[in-house]
């Protein structure tokens, strides 16, 4: 109790008052924003992650914590994140990585396991194939934000005008025929759009699904590179021919985001790419062709193996982070059933992140607006990264090989093919150069003996 200076307190009562004030003060400080944490998140500039960034104020308000965002183009993100985590740099508390990085980095001890979020998180609701792809020895090292396979998008109105029909399972030969018939460059409508920007996660995505279904692979069972093989020549010549004859101009500048924007603007007759784009293309607020877009399976060639990709973008915590509990709090929220429902209610059900949770496909609101929902789920669950080619392979992965060396290999091969696409060299020269680089890399890494 406080009294006037004219009155004398007993020492005991004064000590008691000070103790009470201290206790109240500590309690107030514990609730004060001054004790909130700021975490740094590095993520890719795909639409779903942009929505995550926009919606993250909900988590900030709930927890009192704040986020410093670093949103980067995919090639730049991979470079920045890989450099930081391999050197234990400590720049980031949460990183966006994929099915390729998570098992390798988890095994290296670069990531913290995230298997302790409790029963309310409902790990069993995550599709098993997606969960396994982000795990090592049964421990999950990244939480899936969205998962995807691949599919063929096409303009129904253009097909009807040309008098052609898209089959349920197109072949690459048919895709080439269709592209020729709907190509109308005078009106800025191109027969087919594909990623042309070089990168292990850019042009190599559509290229590798084509290589696989033509019977090719990255390596044989003794780790000998197969890039200069017949299947690669078939697939890459087809890719270059399609884009040079029926593709948009400046294609080597177009990655996933740029190509998606071209299709949504009405400039593409067909597009073979990730299933995650479906929500955007069917959303009238985002897509000029929402009422005419249709879809079917990714095309096949000689074998069905590896014609459709399997991938998950996921959130992970680098071991170097000192704010792990706050990071886990955000990741648990951003990959939860709650988040999916919040995005549906706020942004529109057609835009919820797909492919990760079984419960997503039980949402009546989603099924009502997303004609592609079950198709996408089936495509994701049917893709088999353990059996990506006609012949057995020593690696896991459809568009990548699950070894640390792949990132540099995929980047180099992608650059060589981009040079062939622009006419700087032939496809034969590009594949020979890719083969030589990969052989040297595999020798230096100890996979091959000189």
Mean pLDDT of 34-53: 92
Check residue 385 and give its pLDDT.
96
The dotted CATH code for 36-148+311-370 is: 3.40.190.10
Mean pLDDT of 416-426: 98
- The answer to whether the CB of 263 falls within 8 A of the CB of 270 is no
Q: How far apart are CA 55 and CA 432, in angstroms?
A: 47
Mean pLDDT of 352-374: 98
- pLDDT > 70? residue 31: no
Burial class (CB in 10 A: 0-12, 13-18, 19+), 43: buried
Q: Domain 150-309+401-444: give its CATH architecture.
A: 3-Layer(aba) Sandwich (3.40)
Check residue 393 and give its pLDDT.
98
Lowest-pLDDT range, 2-6, 33-37, 209-213? 2-6
Determine the length of the chain.
450
Per residue in 74-130, pLDDT (tens digit) is 999 999 999 999 999 999 999 999 999 999 999 999 999 999 999 999 999 999 999
Check residue 204 and give its pLDDT.
98
CA pseudo-torsion sign 65, 71, 74, 80: negative
- pLDDT > 80? residue 22: no
Long-range contacts of 27-36 (CB under 8 A, 24+ apart): 33/64, 36/63, 36/64, 36/65, 36/66
Mean pLDDT of 430-434: 98
Mean pLDDT of 287-304: 98
- pLDDT > 90? residue 62: yes
pLDDT band at 446 (very low <50, low <70, confident <90, very high): very high
User: Can you give the three-state secondary structure of the chain, one letter per residue?
Assistant: CCCCCCCCCCHHHHHHHHHHHHHHHHHHHHHCHHHCCEEEEEEECCHHHHHHHHHCHHHHHHHCCEEEEEEECHHHHHHHHHHHHHCCCCCCCEEEEECCHHHHHHHCCCECCCCCCCHHHCHHHECHHHHHHCEECCEECCEEEEEECEEEEEEHHHHHHHCCCCCCCCEHHHHHHHHHHHCEHHHCEECCECCCCCCCCCCHHHHHHHHHHCCCCCECCCCCECCCCHHHHHHHHHHHHHHHHHCCCCHHHCCHHHHHHHHHCCCECEEEEEHHHHHHHCCCCCCCCCCCEEEEECCECCCCCCCCCCEEEEEECECCCCCHHHHHHHHHHHCCHHHHHHHHHHHCHHHCCCCCEHHHHHCHHHHHHCCCHHHHHHHHHHCCCCCCCCCCCCCCCCCCCCCCCHHHHHHHHHHHHHHHHCCCCCHHHHHHHHHHHHHHHHHHCCCCCC
- pLDDT > 50? residue 447: yes
Tokens of 241: 């021919």
Domain with CATH 3.40.190.10 in the chain: 36-148+311-370, 150-309+401-444
Mean pLDDT of 256-261: 97
Lowest-pLDDT range, 11-15, 280-284, 434-438? 11-15
- pLDDT > 60? residue 165: yes
Mean pLDDT of 280-285: 97
**Mean pLDDT value across the chain:** 92
- Closest among 411, 410, 416 to 432, alpha carbons compared: 416
pLDDT band at 348 (very low <50, low <70, confident <90, very high): very high
Q: How far apart are CA 160 and CA 435, in angstroms?
A: 43
Mean pLDDT of 209-233: 98
Output b/e per residue, 143-168; b: 16+ Cβ within 10 A: bbbbbbbbbbbbbebbbeebeeebee
Check residue 449 and give its pLDDT.
79
- Of all residues in the chain, the percent with pLDDT exceeding 90 is 92
- The answer to whether the CB of 254 falls within 8 A of the CB of 271 is no
Residue 199, sorted as left (phi over 0), alpha (psi -120 to 50) or beta, turns out to be left
- pLDDT > 90? residue 24: no
Check residue 4 and give its pLDDT.
33
- pLDDT > 70? residue 200: yes
Check residue 12 and give its pLDDT.
38
Tokens of 1: 């109790």
- pLDDT > 70? residue 7: no
- pLDDT > 90? residue 450: no
More confident residue, 18 or 359: 359
Q: How far apart are CA 376 and CA 379, in angstroms?
A: 5
């Amino acid at each position: 109790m406080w009294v006037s200076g004219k009155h004398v307190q007993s020492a005991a009562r004064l000590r008691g008052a000070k103790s009470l004030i201290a206790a109240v003060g500590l309690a107030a400080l514990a609730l004060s924003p001054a004790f909130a944490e700021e975490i740094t998140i590095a993520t890719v500039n795909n639409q779903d992650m942009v929505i995550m960034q926009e919606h993250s104020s909900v988590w900030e308000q709930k927890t009192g914590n704040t986020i410093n965002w670093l949103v980067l183009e995919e090639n730049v993100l991979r470079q920045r994140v890989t450099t930081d985590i391999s050197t234990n740099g400590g720049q980031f508390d949460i990183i966006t990585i994929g099915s390729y990085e998570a098992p390798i980095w988890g095994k290296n001890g670069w990531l913290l396991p995230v298997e302790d979020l409790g029963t309310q998180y409902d790990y069993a609701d995550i599709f098993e194939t997606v969960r396994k792809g982000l795990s090592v020895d049964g421990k999950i090292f990244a939480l899936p934000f969205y998962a995807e396979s691949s599919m063929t998008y096409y303009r129904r109105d253009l097909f009807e005008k040309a008098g052609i029909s898209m089959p349920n399972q197109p072949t690459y030969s048919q895709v080439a025929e269709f592209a020729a018939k709907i190509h109308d460059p005078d009106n800025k409508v191109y027969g087919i759009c594909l990623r042309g920007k070089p990168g292990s996660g850019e042009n190599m995505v559509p290229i590798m699904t084509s290589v696989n279904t033509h019977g090719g692979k990255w390596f044989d069972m003794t780790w000998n590179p197969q890039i200069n093989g017949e299947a690669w020549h078939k697939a890459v010549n087809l890719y270059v021919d399609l884009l040079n004859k029926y593709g948009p101009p400046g294609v080597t500048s177009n990655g996933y985001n740029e190509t998606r924007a071209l299709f949504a603007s009405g400039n593409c007759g067909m597009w073979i790419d990730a299933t995650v784009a479906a929500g955007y293309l069917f959303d009238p607020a985002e897509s000029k062709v929402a009422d005419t877009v249709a879809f079917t399976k990714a095309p096949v060639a000689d074998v069905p193996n590896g014609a459709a990709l399997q991938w998950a973008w996921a959130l992970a915590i680098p071991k170097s982070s000192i704010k792990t509990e706050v990071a886990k709090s955000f990741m648990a929220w951003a990959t939860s059933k709650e988040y999916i429902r919040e995005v549906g209610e706020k942004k529109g059900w057609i835009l919820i992140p797909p492919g990760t949770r079984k419960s997503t496909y039980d949402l009546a609101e989603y099924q009502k607006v997303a004609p592609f929902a079950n198709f996408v789920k089936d495509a994701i669950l049917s893709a088999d990264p353990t059996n990506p080619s006609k012949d057995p392979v020593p690696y896991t992965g459809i568009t990548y090989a699950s070894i640390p060396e792949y990132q540099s290999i995929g980047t180099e091969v992608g650059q060589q093919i981009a040079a062939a696409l622009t006419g700087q060299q032939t496809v034969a020269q590009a594949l020979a150069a890719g083969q030589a680089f990969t052989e040297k890399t595999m020798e230096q890494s100890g996979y091959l003996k000189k």
